[in-house]
Amino acid sequence: MFDFSIITNWLHQSLLSVMPEVWAVVLECVIVGVCIILMYATLAIILIYGERKICAFFQCRLGPNRVGKWGCIQVVADVFKMLTKEIITPNQVDKFLYKLAPYMVILASFLTFACLPFNKGAEILDFNVGIFFLLAVSGIGVIGILLAGWGSNNKFSLIGAMRSGAQIISYELSVGLSMLTMVVLMGTMQFSQIVEEQADGWFLFKGHIPALIAFIIYLIAGNAECNRGPFDLPEAESELTAGYHTEYSGMNFGFFYLAEYLNLFIVSSVAATVFLGGWMPLHIVGLDGFNAVMDYIPGFIWFFGKAFFVVFLLMWVKWTFPRLRIDQILTLEWKYLLPISLVNLVLMVLIVVTGFHF
Amino acid sequence: MEIKKKTPKIKSIPYEEFQDNETLENMVKELNAGGANIVLGALDDVVNWGRSNSLWPLTFATSCCGIEFMALGAARYDMARFGFEVARSSPRQADMIMVCGTITNKMAPVLKRLYDQMADPKYVVAVGGCAVSGGPFKKSFHVVNGVDKIIPVDVYIPGCPPRPESFFYGMMQLQRKVKIEKFFGGRNKKEKREEIPTTFETEENKK
Amino acid sequence: MEEIQVIEPVALHGEMLKLRKEKQMDYLVSLVGMDWGDEGGLGVVYLLRSTLTGENVSIKTATKDRVAPELPTVSDIWKIADFYEREVFDFYGIVFINHPDMRRLYLRNDWVGYPFRKDDDPEKENPLNMTNESTDDTTPEIEFNPDGTIKKQENVIFDDREYVVNIGPQHPSTHGVMRFRVSLEGETIKKIDPLCGYIFRAIEKMDESLTYPQTLALVDRMDYLSAHQNRHALCMCIEKAMGVEVSPRVQYIRTIMDELQRIDSHLLFYACLAMDLGGLTPFFYGFRDREKILDIFEETCGGRLIMNYNTIGGVQADIHPNFVKRVKEFIPYLRGVIHEYHDIFTNNVIVRERLVGVGLLSREDAISYGCTGGTGRASGWACDVRKRMPYGLYDKVDFKEIVYKEGDSFARYMVRMDEIMESMKIIEQLIDNIPEGPYQTKMKPIIRVPEGTYSAFVESSRGEFGVFLESHGDKTPYRLHYRSTGLPLVAAIDTICRDTKIADLIAINGSIDYVVPDIDR
């Protein structure tokens, strides 16, 4: 397998030969920051384009197809327009909170983005409590939403933000419990270790029944975390005008828009990493020839392929189902998903202790 | 060195097939009077290309023309091909307001407020006979005879209701108009408009 | 000419109560304000009907006082009279004693004058006013003191401590421009106050200065999703008044067009309900199939949405030679495709959760408010005009009247889906047998309707649409009033939405299916 740490080590050595260690590290941080921003923007463009085309095909029509071949540079045009729009700050808003909110949301997005393992050796942050860090940091996004709703000085934004806050905090429990179930199986919380351990089979197959239940619960809860799909009441377009980001225009609104799609991507990539093997190719125990062929495909293609597959599943769900009401959303979490997750956790512990997994 | 703005092109529709080319040519002459920098001119072209292909309408429909607007977004006519399908419902995030339907005296201040809430650069398209001039309700005492009495209009789409193909034609005219504007360089940004003298009571002249 | 009883204002309330109790006149069809000049005075015509016996009664009352006209209210007998009397106050200035909420309904609350009076000049006194309208939280009520003098009282609409949220008039749920002020407690709705008039175009006032063929042009644009049916009603009323018989070919064509329009409107109802609930894909299915009906319309009538097809005495042009073939291709196509609608939407567990048991309207309330159409039939009130007072060919075709008993949003939705199937059945029975004949009866160039009052009712896609015509023998009508299908529905929203959640308001609005220009006219 191609190991990305070859490139990072080569870069580090060549910088060390030119400047002292401190400056080398600073320059590397800057390079990494620029890379994250570029990748973030590119992925957002691909995801938005993908959503528009996929939803068009579900709705028996063509999506954008005039701007570039098959409409592929449509979103670039959208970005140019968004950058040149006037940023209006309404008069009576709480200026500090109003301006801070989009940046909080983007901050949470970037931090979680930095945890993902794209290839062997290509993680940016690799703690030994990786999953714990991910869950902790994704909570910062809620603050951004609540600040946006409160700071906008608008009754509808406030209602939208309160709904969103209640929803996200509730569903974080389900996300946490399904991750905990998988940690019991995996034995480690470090992302690079998690992927390495799936060399002889993905955890979805290794953990059979409880892993499948955890996967489904994670997908539902992850969908609700991103305010997407059947759970998008906080920004319900046809109900409360535009929810918590009604009063934002121009690039501030652009940040909310990007962060929504990137959160979706991050939820899908975490699902792909923990359940479907991350950048690890599909290996079937016993078929060595097959495994060798699978190894030729580079790791990041596996990773992005799996992540985009899960993104497609979530988009499919969004464009099929109507919305749930807020009390139905909370009922679903507290009365159904949470007890099932707890029982599932006990089941997984039993399986690991008795060794009934593959 | 100066470059001159050229007349705008729409993909796969020849320039001669558009009706009102003289207005655009006059606008181009006016905007070129100040000349344009080569770097800013090229940047203008790129930004205008982006803006013209991504005009997001505000969902605003008062009567019958609103149904044709919805049919425009539906599967057979599909305005998503042009990039317009993201119809935002908050005026701050929308680029243009397509006034579909009759505007009555009671609705007029609401429309003006919506227009004021939109972020620049913004455009107005008057769709249907009622928004263009009052339409079949011209004689009524409660109908504003044409939405250009209260907000400045960029494109008029006549019809009662106009066919979806007319909508597309109007939107392509708007795209051409956006493409020749100056964004960065020069002093004149858009076409000059005359001030419409207002004979009716507004917040300012009430005091 | 129809029989109209005249009752003096002092005896009015007692007589109305007697009619309600003894003759079971529980359905107030329409309440028409009139200005009969200086001899007749300002007054009101009431059209009552009994849901048990089907008997129709018309009552007339007037007062000669033009400075401060007063009449007793009947809003305690029929709940819809609340809104109808506000409309009459708005246009004629007649104050109704004991009415709890005597505010203007359509015009701004700082409007000067009463525009439908014959001696009023609305434009001179009310130029375009761009200041924002102030919203009242209290409303006046006029009562009688025990000694007979007038007492004015202020009733409170919304308290200071209530959390009042404004929904509309610019509304993403594209039902039009309707404004609601909603008082919330958390997510639960305590009270709703609808404010109408944002698309009030004064069609009825304009009609008084247009000739009869000219009035046909405006009636299409009221409820534009029942354009054929509206125009059919007006043409039927004028033909009845003039004693003109239309040929059987015209009857067939009008009935088939009405039913196609009904299918079109119900498909759009389905699409918009799905969009309001958040499922955007069924929206596209509904519109895709609706386009096929619009193609059929366009070939014959020339228009997709506003058809201008029915005329006085017939239709504007004969049907296109391809009409029969296209309709016969369309019906089997829709029958084959309609199961998709049920698969993706009706049988979905989320839809059931959001619609079943939400927004209950009891049968008594439906009759008292006059909620006809799918809404009334979903509450158990069999009010289909096609069965109760048949017109066109409806007494010769075989179809079921769909009535559900639950009265919730899901029942309202299912009524309309089942009506699509019934409409297809009606068209199938008629399409092969269109007789030959003229498509227009010869009429005089200038149409004068003989003196008298006439009315005609049709079942439009949204309910009972009625035309009330009073003519004094001229070539323009003296008073032309349309019984709106949507105003009772909006009046009933406060009752339906008590103690539901705000997300349910959107679902209920979608399932009630009103079109705002029809409410405001």
**What does the H/E/C string look like for C475-512?**
CCCCEEEEECCHHHHHHHHHHHCCCCEHHHHHHHHHHH
Higher-scoring residue by pLDDT: B38, B185: B38
Element (DSSP H or E) covering residue A107:
helix A95-113
Q: Would you state the structure tokens that stand for residue A306, as one six-digit string? A: 């799996």
The mean pLDDT of B62-87, rounded to a whole number, is: 85
Domain hosting C144: range is: 5-126+140-155
| Alpha-carbon separation of residue A84 from B46, B173, C207, C315 (angstroms) | 12, 21, 49, 54
Q: Does C128 contact B75 at a Cβ distance shorter than 8 Å?
A: no
What per-residue confidence (pLDDT) applies to B35?
A: 62
Name the residue range of residue B33's domain.
19-193
* Substitution target from B81, B84, B113, B178 for chain A, most A beta carbons within 10 A: B81
- Average pLDDT of B73-85? 84
Of B7, B96, B6, B36, the residue nearest A85 (C-alpha): B96
Task: Measure Cα distances from A261 to A113, A254, C448 in Å.
Answer: 12, 11, 66
Task: State percent of chain B over pLDDT 70.
Answer: 81
Average pLDDT over residues B40-52: 82
Contacts of B109 in chain C (CB under 8 A): 129-133
Quick one: pLDDT at residue C147? 66
Q: Mark whether C257 and C149 lie in a shared domain.
A: no
Mean pLDDT, range C34-43, rounded to an integer: 84
3-state secondary structure of C254: helix
Total structural domains in chain B?
1
Question: In this complex, do A328 and C165 lie within 8 Å of one another by their Cβ atoms?
Answer: no
- Is B4 domain-assigned? no
CA distances from residue C6 to A100, C56, C60, C117, C164 in whole angstroms, order as listed: 70, 15, 5, 21, 44
Q: What is the pLDDT of residue A237?
A: 52
What crossing angle do the helices spanning A21-58 and A95-113 adopt, rounded to 10°? 90
> pLDDT band at A334, cuts 50/70/90?
very high
Q: What angle do CA C249, C255, C257 make, to 5 degrees?
A: 100
Identify whether residues C216 and C144 lie together within a single domain. no
Q: Verify that C414 and C287 share a domain, yes or no.
A: yes
Which pair of structure tokens corresponds to residue B62? 């008062």
Whether B198 is covered by a domain: the verdict is no
CA B68 to chain centre: 17
* C24 Cβ neighbours under 8 A, 6+ residues apart: C50, C51, C52, C53
* Residue C505: both structure tokens together: 């308001």
Rg of chain B, C-alpha, whole Å: 18
Structural domains counted in chain C: 2
pLDDT of residue B125: 92
Portion of chain C with pLDDT greater than 90, in percent: 15
**Average pLDDT score over residue span A70-75:** 85
- Confidence band of A242 (pLDDT split at 50, 70, 90): low
Q: Are strands B57-58 and B96-100 parallel, antiparallel or unpaired?
A: parallel
- What is the average pLDDT score of chain B? 79
- DSSP summary character for residue C346: I
Nearest to A238 among C165, C285, C506 (CB): C506
| B37 DSSP assignment | B
**Residues C36, C444: Cα–Cα separation, whole Å:** 28
Segment C286-315 shows an average pLDDT of 89
pLDDT at C258: 92
Nearest chain A CA: its distance from B140 CA (Å): 32
A242 touching B (Cβ < 8 Å): yes
Give the angle subtended at the CA of A168 by the CAs of A166 and A172, to the nearest 5°: 120
**Beta carbons within 10 angstroms of residue A91's beta carbon:** 7
**Per-residue pLDDT at B192 exceeds 70:** no
B128: left (phi over 0), alpha (psi -120 to 50) or beta: left
pLDDT of residue C265: 92
The pLDDT of B28-33, averaged and rounded, is 70
In terms of Cβ atoms closer than 10 Å to its own Cβ (0-12, 13-18, 19+), residue B61 is: buried
**What is the DSSP pairing of strand C479-483 with strand C314-315?**
unpaired
Q: Which residue of C has its CA nearest to A322?
A: C279
Q: Which of B70, B108, B139 sits opposite C128 (nearest CB)?
A: B108
Window 105-134 of B: residues touching A by CB (8 A cutoff) are 119-121
Computed over its alpha carbons, how large is the radius of gyration of chain A? 21
CA distances from A95 to A101, A150, C166 (A): 10, 11, 24
Residue located via tokens 């991050």 = A266
Best interface-test mutation with B: which of C112, C174, C297 has the largest number of B CBs within 10 A? C174
Mean pLDDT of C296-312: 89
Task: Write the pLDDT tens digit of every residue in A291-332.
Answer: 777 777 887 888 889 999 999 999 999 888 888 888 888 899
Half-sphere exposure of A68 (CA within 13 A, CB side): 14
- Report which of residues C157 and C453 the model is more confident about: C453
Contact criterion met (CB < 8 Å) for B63 and C205: no
Tokens matching residue A115: 């945890």
Q: Which letter does DSSP use for residue A335 in this model?
A: I
> Among the residues of A187-287, which ranges form H helices?
191-196, 203-206, 208-225, 250-276
CA-based nearest residue to A218, from A341, A306, A352: A341
Side-chain half-sphere CA neighbours of C146 within 13 A: 0
- Report the pLDDT value the prediction gives residue C182, as an integer from 0 to 100: 87
pLDDT-derived band of residue C268, with 50, 70 and 90 as boundaries? very high
- Which has the higher per-residue pLDDT, B193 or A69? A69
How far apart, in whole angstroms, are the C-alpha atoms of residue A26 and residue A33?
Answer: 11
Q: Which of A60, A155, A323 sits opposite C277 (nearest CB)?
A: A323
Phi-psi region of C308 (alpha: psi -120 to 50; beta: other; left: phi over 0): left
pLDDT of residue C416: 92
Q: Is A283 in contact with A294 (CB distance < 8 Å)?
A: yes
3-state secondary structure of C458: strand
CA A236/CA A240 separation, integer angstroms: 6
In 3D space, the residue among C234, C242, C192, C238 whose CA is nearest the CA of residue C217 turns out to be C234
Q: Do C199 and B71 touch (CB under 8 A)?
A: no
Whether the ω angle into residue B161 lies within 30 degrees of 0, i.e. cis, is yes
Residues of A in contact with C354 (CB under 8 A): 322-325, 328
Which of A60, A239, A321 lies nearest to residue C506, judging by beta carbons?
A239
CB B93 to CB A241 under 8 A?
no
Query: Which phi and psi angles does A165 have, rounded to 5°?
Result: -60, -45
User: In degrees rounded to 5, what are phi and psi of residue C163?
Assistant: -90, 100
Nearest CB to C503: which of A155, A321, A326? A326
What band does C64 get if pLDDT is binned at 50, 70 and 90? confident
Whether residue C369 is found in the same domain as residue C276: yes
pTM of the model: 0.90
The shortest C-alpha distance from C48 to chain B (Å) reads: 31
Q: Give how far A324 is from chain C: nearest CA, Å.
A: 6
What pLDDT sits at residue B1?
Answer: 40
DSSP helix/strand/coil, C69: coil
**Which of B58, B63, B143, B163 has the most C C-beta neighbours within 10 Å, making it the best mutation to test the interface with C?**
B63
Q: Which amino acid is at C178?
A: M
C347 near B CB under 8 A: no
pLDDT surpasses 70 at B97: yes
Average pLDDT, chain C: 86
What's the pLDDT at C262? 93
Substitution target in A249, A251, A319 with the highest count of B β-carbons within 10 Å is A249
**CA separation for the pair C262, C394 (Å, rounded):** 14
**CATH of residue C59:** 3.30.460.80
> How many Å separate Cα B97 from the centre of its chain?
7
Can you say whether the dihedral through the CA atoms of C217, C221, C226, C227 is positive or negative?
A: positive
User: Secondary structure of C230-253 in the HEC alphabet?
Assistant: HHHHHHHHHHHHHCCCCCHHHHHH
Residue C266 confidence (pLDDT) above 70: yes
Counting one residue from chain B and one from chain C, the pairs whose CB atoms sit within 8 A come to 138
What is the pLDDT confidence band of residue B200, given thresholds at 50, 70 and 90? low
Better-predicted residue by pLDDT, C239 or B40: C239
Crossing angle of the two packed helices A21-58 and A250-276, in degrees rounded to 10: 90
CA–CA separation, C392 vs C314, rounded Å?
12
**Number of Cβ atoms within 10 Å of the Cβ of C107:** 23
**Sign, CA torsion C487/C492/C496/C497:** positive
Angle in degrees, CA A224, A229, A231, rounded to 5? 45
Peptide bond into B121 cis (omega under 30): yes
The closest CB to that of B53, out of A52, A61, A67, belongs to A67
pLDDT tens by residue, C326-354: 999 999 999 999 888 888 888 888 888 88
Q: What is the pLDDT of residue C2?
A: 59
Residue B146, pLDDT above cutoff 70 = yes
pLDDT class of B2 with cuts at 50, 70, 90: very low
In this structure, the answer to whether residues C221 and C311 fall within a common structural domain is yes
Per the structure block, which two tokens stand in for C361?
């309207």
Q: Is residue B119 part of a domain?
A: yes
Query: Helix C409-431 crosses helix C502-512 at what angle (to 10 degrees)?
Result: 20
With beta carbons under 8 A apart, name residues in chain B contacting A77: 49-51, 53-54, 83
Ramachandran category for residue A174: left, alpha or beta (phi over 0 → left; psi -120 to 50 → alpha): alpha
C421 with C357, same domain: the answer is yes
- In this structure, the number of other CB atoms found within 10 A of the CB of residue C356 comes to 13
Given this model, what pLDDT does residue C156 score?
77
CATH number assigned to the domain comprising residue B24: 3.40.50.12280
Q: How far is C277 from chain A (nearest CA, A)?
A: 6
Long-range contacts of C19-22 (CB under 8 A, 24+ apart): C19/C48, C19/C57, C19/C59, C20/C77, C20/C78
Residue-level pLDDT at B198: 53
Q: Which helix (H) or strand (E) holds C184?
A: strand C179-185
Let me know if residue C37 belongs to a domain: yes
- Among C199, C226, C288, C304, pick the best mutation site for testing chain B contact (most B Cβ within 10 A): C199
